[in-house]
Amino acid sequence: MAFAMEGCIGWRYIAEEMAKAGVIAHLAEPADTSALRRPKRRAKTDKADPKLLRELLAAGRLPQCYIPPAQALEYRAMLELYQDLRTQHTGWGQRIQAVCFHQGITAPGQAGIIRGDRARLRAIVDDQLSISGRLRVNTALAVMDVLADHLDRLRRRLLSSARGLKGARALMHDIYGVGPLSSLALCARLGGADRFSSSRKAVRFVGLDITVHSSDGKRSPGRLSRQGPEVLRWLLFEAAKTSARACAPGYDYYTQVKNRYDANRPPSPAKRSRDRLGEDRPARHRDDGHQPRPAPSAYCQTAPPPSPPGR
């Protein structure tokens, strides 16, 4: 027995309940499903949507989305929470800097507010800010302390999860600049080595492909599409920025890009991945002696617990 549903809010709960009942759940991509709908002669109703899904599923034409395992969904949720907390923590630091600038005080900068000496900052605030300014800054510092505590606990949990994944450890070992968070996001979002048949499709899924056409004709070419998981795109950008180190393997390529454009454009992940993987063909179609890629389950396999000391 099979059941088709659109990939909208609440699909995870329905898919889990269907799996418990022994029903195979099929997740339909909303945009592609809407494109397959013929010219409508009637108004769009709640009865017409499931009828279309049933007909497409029976005909084998349903545009399906990837349903990740429950463990990968948990990792995705934790990474999204981590990014939200980081964004809020940075935003409160910017508010402190804006208050100090508005009242003519030279603030220690965003880095100094987040990682600087809090005692020195509080002394400056108490001596030079007004009553309302002190209230706003002290409130922001209190909120930042609470967010920092949650960030520290969540980061330790994410690091522990990344060290327990076989695929995450392999990515950290093979790719320079990919740390625990980036490797965990890659495993949770990409879903294994056999999900995409080429590196170009994986880059397009993340939203790091270069756009060459715009519907209104006003957007200049050469910009990222930014359509995909925002958390993974943010972590990959930070990983690519490690090429600015002189000891990085791609330092020469980074300096070339920096000289042509600016320092805010890291090495293109699409080009680097294509250079590393070779042609954009599936590995299973190669006949040049390459070893087959591991199964997707290998990237979500939990490492065995360490043996007790003294054994």
Q: What are phi and psi of 239, to 5 degrees?
A: -65, -40
User: Whole-angstrom Cα distance, residue 92 to residue 110?
Assistant: 10
Q: What is the pLDDT of residues 274-283, one digit of tens each?
A: 444 333 333 3
Report whether 85 contacts 151 (CB < 8 A). yes
More confident residue, 125 or 244: 244
pLDDT at residue 118 greater than cutoff 60:
yes
Short-list 55, 20, 306, 25, CA closest to 164: 306
Amino acid of residue 220? S
User: Taking Cα atoms as reference points, which of 177, 144, 164, 185 lies closest to residue 273?
Assistant: 177
Q: What is the pLDDT of residues 6-45, one digit of tens each?
A: 888 888 888 888 888 888 989 888 878 888 877 665 666 6
pLDDT recorded at residue 16: 87
CB–CB of 118/96 below 8 Å?
no
Tens digit of each residue's pLDDT (9 = 90 or more) over 146-184: 999 999 999 999 999 999 988 889 888 888 889 999 999
pLDDT of residue 311: 42
Q: How much is the mean pLDDT over the chain?
A: 77
pTM for the whole structure: 0.71
Percent of the chain surpassing pLDDT 90 = 14
Q: Kindly state the helix (H) or strand (E) to which residue 111 belongs, with its residue range.
A: helix 109-115
Token pair in block for residue 287 = 């006949």
Q: Is residue 271 predicted with pLDDT exceeding 70?
A: no
How high is the pLDDT of residue 34?
Answer: 80
Residues contacting residue 255 through CB under 8 Å, at least 6 positions apart: none
Please tell me the distance from the alpha carbon of residue 286 to that of residue 134, in angstroms, as a whole number.
66
